[in-house]
């Protein structure tokens, strides 16, 4: 009987320890599986000294103890004295030992950076993780654990790390009823109904995960905002979340519905120049800060896609943003005012509208306002040229908005590693102040001397056990944090870190998974929107191909508006002969895109209406190139499947099967995209799909007849 019970416990324990459901993200802390390295680490780390009992230092202490006992397979004792192998952790204020080291690098680490240094103290080798603040200490601890998780040497550490961007933020598009706009990973993790009394353990794990990659802010609610979240009933719930996140250096933000003074305040207007309205927001800010003393501020979507805003009262975006900024300023709160605006009435090329509205407002915003700009001018497409506002508003801090949730990138089923796409935009040169004026330098404030800086991304997190629905969605969350901290990191390096922590340090496995990840974005661009095609997805839910769609209530929600295919060719002419959107870029950028012979082919149809017979660099005609690219996309997905299949023995069954099944869906979807798009565009090109390629299995009518009334995420 006793034996049976023991056996049961052993089985139970092994299940608990080895259940690979993805919940632990990249913070798995499994025993180092390289014997030599394990011995080295065990010899180098024999004790932990961390003094101080602030919530932040307690969080750091808990993490280092948990992390080390997992990675080193034994409990590392807390110490009061130095011995060889002491890991000394803290700030000069929390630890006399750290103070006595007088580390010169702490002059450079500011209020979030950290240093990790190997030192000799009283003849003893120690490692010091030091920072000026608790948040810095925590980031240092996570970085140190990452070194071990990724099997780095720790003999002669001399690391100084400081974030390049100040506000590193997740934007949850979560509604108060727990649905998530464009969410493909279940419902919202914020259980509003049970808050503030019921604290889901996930909240803390969410905070740990974010802190581990340097994310220091979270906007809890959808940009299509509900004013209710600003009422006391909800503020109490927000405060409960804020108190869980605080030790992890994470501030909460809310979306502010512009019409809130009318909807929950009983006023007749929300006009930003009305004194009563201004006072209402001031009172509201005061109230919020009573609940949440370190509240971060507001994210606002105004006068866009039906949301209320200052233009309802004949005021401009700066007047709207400044009113909120004035209300938040006494408490050091900020406003992140979105530039994703386009008007239903304006017939102007949608590409141009944000620039047209915001560029004239440069210099008109309060110092605590950032204008949050999507990476591209249209809307999170698989590949977009950089937004022309970057570099065009030198007097205004511009914040980057990426999208982790893959609304237009295969949603919840496609493996697409987004870092290469983020990097493409960050590394793009705006030429705003001559060569080298990259988008990254605009948003990190260096180009125009701003200290208020930020990078945000629309979250892909939900209640799914593995957080992001597709396991590889975790890599995008990870990449956002790492890039916001340091945009000079390469996609390859970030993938490397993530795979080592999430799967294994085994070189063969590491390289195979990395190669899948690094090829995935280009693969998707090819099977969805090659050569600069954009916004040809299904109407409203954005699932699957629908280049034929022309029935939306407004022109610029229709794929036909964006691809403009006709008997002569395909593509949106944005040169001076067309919409002239290119005039919004600096002359250098404009020239390159304007001249069809220098326009990079991956952006060709963004800017040119090109003849079907146009000769591409490959020697193929445009039509043939399109057929080629769509087929390359499918081929690449099949290669990803084959690579994944080859790793069966090296990956636990649970995650292996999960990804395998999703790759099968991805392959089907890639074929569907290719066949539907080629059949449709063929009605204009009137040319055959070359015989060397697989021919579509169905007719165009079949693809056009497919309907998805219950597609997720709407």
Active site residue 379: yes
Distance separating alpha carbons of residues 408 and 417, to the nearest angstrom: 13
| Beta bridge partners of residue 335, listed in sequence order | 298, 369
Out of 174, 271, 379, 444, the active site residue is 379
Nearest approach, Cβ of residue 349 and ligand BDP (Å): 18
Looking at residue 180, the DSSP 8-state letter turns out to be B
Of 223 and 328, nearer to ligand BDP (C-beta) is 223
Nearest approach, Cβ of residue 689 and ligand BDP (Å): 31
Q: Is 362 in the site for ligand BDP (CB under 6 A)?
A: no
| Nearest residue (beta carbon) to ligand BDP | 379
Of 224 and 506, nearer to ligand BDP (C-beta) is 224
Q: Is 407 in the site for ligand BDP (CB under 6 A)?
A: yes
Q: Is 380 in the site for ligand BDP (CB under 6 A)?
A: yes
Q: What element of type H or E holds 52?
A: none
Distance of CA 543 to the CA centre of its chain: 20
Residue 109 to residues 113, 139, 225, 395, 401: CA-CA distances in angstroms?
A: 4, 12, 37, 26, 26
Nearest approach, Cβ of residue 516 and ligand BDP (Å): 27
**With left for phi above 0 and alpha for psi between -120 and 50, is residue 629 left, alpha or beta?**
alpha
CB within 8 Å of 440: residues ≥ 6 apart: 426, 427, 487, 488
Nearest approach, Cβ of residue 380 and ligand BDP (Å): 5
Three-state secondary-structure class, residue 445: coil
Of 163 and 309, nearer to ligand BDP (C-beta) is 309
State which of positions 146-205 bind ligand BDP (CB under 6 A): 181-182
Residue given tokens 């990840």 in the structure block: 517
Nearest approach, Cβ of residue 564 and ligand BDP (Å): 21
Nearest approach, Cβ of residue 240 and ligand BDP (Å): 27
Q: 251-255 and 369-374: which strand pairing?
A: unpaired
Q: Do residues 599 and 592 make contact, with C-beta atoms less than 8 angstroms apart? A: yes
Interaction mask 453-492, ligand BDP, x per CB under 6 A: ----------------------------------------
Q: 158-161 and 114-121: which strand pairing?
A: antiparallel
Q: Is 340 in the site for ligand BDP (CB under 6 A)?
A: yes
Of 511 and 540, nearer to ligand BDP (C-beta) is 540
Of 352 and 450, nearer to ligand BDP (C-beta) is 352
Q: What element of type H or E holds 9?
A: helix 2-18
Distance separating alpha carbons of residues 397 and 12, to the nearest angstrom: 53
Tokens of 356: 């047209």
Active site residue 407: yes
CB within 8 Å of 596: residues ≥ 6 apart: 604, 608, 610, 614
Strand order of the sheet with strand 124-130? 47-50, 86-90, 124-130, 114-121, 158-161
Nearest to 700 by CA among 679, 671, 669: 679
Distance separating alpha carbons of residues 61 and 374, to the nearest angstrom: 38
Alpha helices in 229-309 (DSSP H): 232-245, 260-263, 275-291
Q: Is 63 in the site for ligand BDP (CB under 6 A)?
A: no
For ligand BDP (CB under 6 A), the number of binding residues is: 10
Of 223 and 262, nearer to ligand BDP (C-beta) is 223
Of 119 and 711, nearer to ligand BDP (C-beta) is 711
Nearest approach, Cβ of residue 458 and ligand BDP (Å): 7
Q: How many CB atoms lie within 10 A of CB 201?
A: 8
Nearest approach, Cβ of residue 472 and ligand BDP (Å): 21
Q: Is 343 in the site for ligand BDP (CB under 6 A)?
A: no
Distance separating alpha carbons of residues 109 and 119, to the nearest angstrom: 18
Of 384 and 407, nearer to ligand BDP (C-beta) is 407
Interaction mask 263-302, ligand BDP, x per CB under 6 A: --------------------------------------x-
SS (HEC) of 598-658: CCCHHHHHHHCCEECCCECCCCCEHHHHHHHHHHHHHHHHHHHHHHHHCCHHHCCHHHHHH
Active site residue 349: no
What value does the CA radius of gyration of the chain take, rounded to a whole number of Å? 26
Q: Do residues 578 and 553 make contact, with C-beta atoms less than 8 angstroms apart? A: no
Q: Do residues 662 and 415 make contact, with C-beta atoms less than 8 angstroms apart? A: yes
- In angstroms, the first-to-last Cα distance of the chain is 54
Nearest approach, Cβ of residue 317 and ligand BDP (Å): 15
Nearest to 402 by CA among 455, 350, 358: 455
Out of 305, 348, 486, 492, the active site residue is 305
Q: Is 224 in the site for ligand BDP (CB under 6 A)?
A: yes
Helical packing angle, 622-645 and 507-528, nearest 10°: 150
Q: Do residues 608 and 571 make contact, with C-beta atoms less than 8 angstroms apart? A: yes
Nearest approach, Cβ of residue 182 and ligand BDP (Å): 5
Q: Which of 64, 127, 128, 223 binds ligand BDP (CB under 6 A)?
A: 223
Q: Is 521 in the site for ligand BDP (CB under 6 A)?
A: no
Of 181 and 362, nearer to ligand BDP (C-beta) is 181
Nearest approach, Cβ of residue 375 and ligand BDP (Å): 12
Tokens of 547: 């280049």
Q: Which of 319, 379, 464, 669 binds ligand BDP (CB under 6 A)?
A: 379
Nearest approach, Cβ of residue 224 and ligand BDP (Å): 5
Distance separating alpha carbons of residues 140 and 132, to the nearest angstrom: 11
Out of 20, 407, 497, 675, the active site residue is 407
Binding site for ligand BDP (CB under 6 A): 181-182, 223-224, 301, 305, 340, 379-380, 407
What are the catalytic residues? Answer: 305, 379, 407
């Amino acid at each position: 009987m006793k034996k049976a019970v023991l056996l049961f416990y052993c089985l139970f324990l092994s299940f608990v320890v080895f259940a690979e459901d993805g919940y632990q993200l990249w913070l798995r802390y499994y025993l180092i599986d390289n014997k030599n390295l394990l011995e080295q680490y065990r010899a180098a780390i024999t004790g932990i000294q961390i003094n101080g009992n602030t919530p932040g230092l307690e969080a750091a202490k808990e993490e280092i103890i948990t992390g080390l006992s997992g990675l080193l397979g034994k409990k590392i004792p807390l110490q009061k004295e130095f011995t060889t192998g002491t890991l000394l952790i803290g700030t000069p204020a929390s630890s006399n030992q750290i103070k006595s080291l007088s580390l010169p690098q702490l002059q450079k680490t500011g209020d979030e950076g950290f240093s990790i240094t190997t030192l000799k103290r009283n003849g003893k080798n120690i490692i010091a993780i030091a920072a000026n603040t608790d948040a810095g200490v925590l980031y240092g601890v996570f970085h140190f654990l990452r070194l071990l998780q990724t099997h780095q040497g720790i003999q002669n550490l001399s690391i100084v790390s400081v974030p390049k961007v100040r506000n590193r933020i997740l934007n949850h598009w979560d509604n108060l009823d727990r649905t998530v706009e464009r969410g493909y990973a279940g419902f919202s993790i914020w259980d509003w109904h049970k808050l503030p009394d019921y604290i889901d353990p996930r909240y803390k794990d969410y905070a740990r995960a974010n802190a581990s990659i340097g994310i220091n802010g979270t906007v809890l609610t959808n940009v299509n905002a509900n004013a209710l979240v600003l009422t006391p009933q909800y503020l109490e719930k927000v405060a409960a979340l804020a108190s869980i996140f605080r030790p992890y250096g994470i501030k909460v933000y809310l979306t502010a519905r512009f019409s809130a003074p009318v909807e929950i305040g009983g006023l007749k207007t929300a006009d930003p120049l009305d004194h009563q309205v201004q006072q209402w927001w001031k009172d509201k800010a005061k109230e919020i800060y009573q609940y949440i003393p370190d509240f971060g501020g507001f994210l606002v979507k105004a006068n866009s896609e039906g949301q209320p805003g200052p233009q309802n009262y004949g005021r401009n975006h700066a007047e709207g943003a400044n009113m909120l900024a004035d209300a938040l300023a006494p408490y050091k709160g900020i406003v992140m005012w979105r530039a994703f605006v386009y008007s239903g009435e304006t017939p102007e090329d949608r590409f141009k509208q944000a620039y047209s509205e915001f560029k004239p407002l440069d210099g008109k915003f309060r110092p605590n306002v950032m204008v949050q700009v999507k990476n591209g001018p249209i809307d999170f497409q698989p590949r977009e040229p950089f937004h022309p506002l970057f570099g065009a508003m030198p007097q205004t801090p511009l914040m980057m908005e990426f999208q982790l949730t893959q609304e237009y990138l295969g949603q919840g089923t496609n493996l697409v590693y987004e870092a290469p796409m983020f990097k493409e935009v960050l590394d793009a040169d705006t030429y705003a102040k001559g060569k080298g004026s990259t988008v990254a330098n605009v948003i990190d404030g260096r180009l125009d001397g701003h200290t208020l800086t930020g990078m945000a991304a629309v979250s892909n997190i939900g209640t799914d056990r593995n957080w992001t629905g597709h396991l590889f969605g975790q890599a995008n969350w990870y990449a956002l944090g790492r890039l916001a901290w340091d945009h000079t990191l390469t996609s390859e390096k970030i993938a490397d870190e993530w795979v080592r922590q999430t799967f294994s340090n085994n070189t063969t496995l590491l390289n195979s998974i990395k190669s899948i990840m690094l090829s995935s974005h280009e693969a998707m661009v090819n099977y969805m929107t090659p050569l600069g095609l954009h916004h040809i997805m299904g109407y409203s839910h954005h699932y699957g191909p629908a280049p034929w769609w022309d029935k939306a209530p407004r022109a610029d929600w229709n794929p036909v508006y964006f691809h403009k295919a006709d008997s002569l060719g395909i593509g949106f002419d944005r040169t001076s002969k067309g919409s002239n959107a290119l005039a919004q870029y600096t002359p250098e950028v404009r020239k390159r895109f304007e001249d069809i012979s220098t326009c990079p082919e991956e952006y060709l149809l963004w800017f040119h209406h090109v003849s079907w017979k146009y000769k591409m660099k490959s020697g193929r005609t445009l039509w043939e190139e399109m057929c080629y690219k769509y087929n390359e996309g499918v081929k690449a997905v099949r290669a990803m499947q084959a690579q994944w299949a080859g790793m069966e023995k090296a990956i636990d069954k649970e995650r292996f099967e999960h990804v395998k099944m999703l790759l099968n869906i991805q392959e089907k979807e890639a074929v569907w995209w290719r066949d539907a798009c080629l059949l449709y565009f063929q009605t204009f090109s009137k040319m055959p799909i070359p015989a060397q390629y697989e021919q579509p299995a169905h007719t165009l009518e079949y693809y056009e007849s497919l309907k998805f009334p219950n597609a997720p995420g709407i």
